[in-house]
């Protein structure tokens, strides 16, 4: 990418990440109010320049790669929550831990080994301990949505294959 001036570079970045008109991005990059047709004309003229068009495409590529990476990270976290022990299982483990007669250090070490990823909220009430987990149906729907499956309609066999392929690609690249 050739060296372009800072205002044109800012214009290219604004066009790449913006859903507004290029003329508005042009005025913003020049740090002034939008003037209408003149700004639109100047923006179109700038976008015809190959260096600026290449800068816009480069910034769009950066935005897409960040989006894919953040989507992968979200999918990994959500599936970890989905596969973690449920709130009922954690409650049983905590109950047996509290009823066992062991030293405080041993109890603390066992407490630290518990997988609390699937627990949304845990608090002590006057009746004992309350453990609340995540809603697995909502979590599964969010995972499928992030994987690119349209969940507004019933899932077809092709949709299931697509989801499996996308999830295996995402988790295969994370190893």
pLDDT of residue 171: 66
- The 10 Å Cβ neighbour count of residue 1 is 11
pLDDT of residue 170: 65
pLDDT of residue 22: 87
**Closest of 63, 65, 25, 58 to residue 42, by C-alpha:** 25
pLDDT of residue 136: 81
- 8-state DSSP, 118: T
What is the reported pTM?
0.54
pLDDT of residue 74: 81
Signed CA dihedral, 87, 88, 92, 95: sign only: positive
pLDDT of residue 61: 83
pLDDT of residue 56: 87
DSSP string, 29-94: HTTS---SHHHHHHHHHHHHSHHHHHHHHHHHHHHHHHHHHHHHHHHHHHHHHHHSPPHHHHHHHH
Half-sphere exposure of residue 43: CA atoms within 13 angstroms, side-chain side: 26
Average pLDDT per 10 consecutive residues for the chain, totaling 175 residues: 79 84 88 87 87 87 77 81 87 86 84 87 86 85 76 75 73 60
pLDDT of residue 98: 82
**Closest of 14, 21, 58 to residue 40, by C-alpha:** 21
């Amino acid at each position: 990418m050739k060296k372009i001036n800072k205002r044109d570079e800012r214009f290219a970045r604004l066009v790449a990440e913006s859903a507004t008109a290029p003329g508005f991005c042009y005025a913003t990059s020049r740090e002034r109010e939008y003037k209408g047709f003149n700004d639109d004309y100047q923006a179109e003229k700038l976008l015809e320049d190959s260096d600026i068009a290449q800068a816009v495409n480069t910034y769009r590529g950066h935005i897409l790669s960040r989006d894919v990476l953040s989507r992968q990270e979200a999918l990994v976290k959500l599936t970890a929550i989905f596969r973690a022990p449920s709130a009922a299982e954690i409650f049983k483990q905590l109950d047996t831990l509290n009823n066992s007669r062991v030293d405080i250090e041993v109890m603390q070490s066992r407490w630290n080994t518990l997988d609390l990823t699937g627990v949304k909220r845990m608090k002590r009430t006057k009746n004992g301990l309350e453990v609340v987990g995540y809603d697995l149906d909502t979590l599964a729907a969010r995972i499928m949505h992030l994987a690119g499956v349209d969940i507004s309609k019933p899932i077809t066999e092709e949709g299931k294959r697509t989801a499996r392929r996308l999830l295996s690609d995402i988790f295969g690249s994370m190893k």
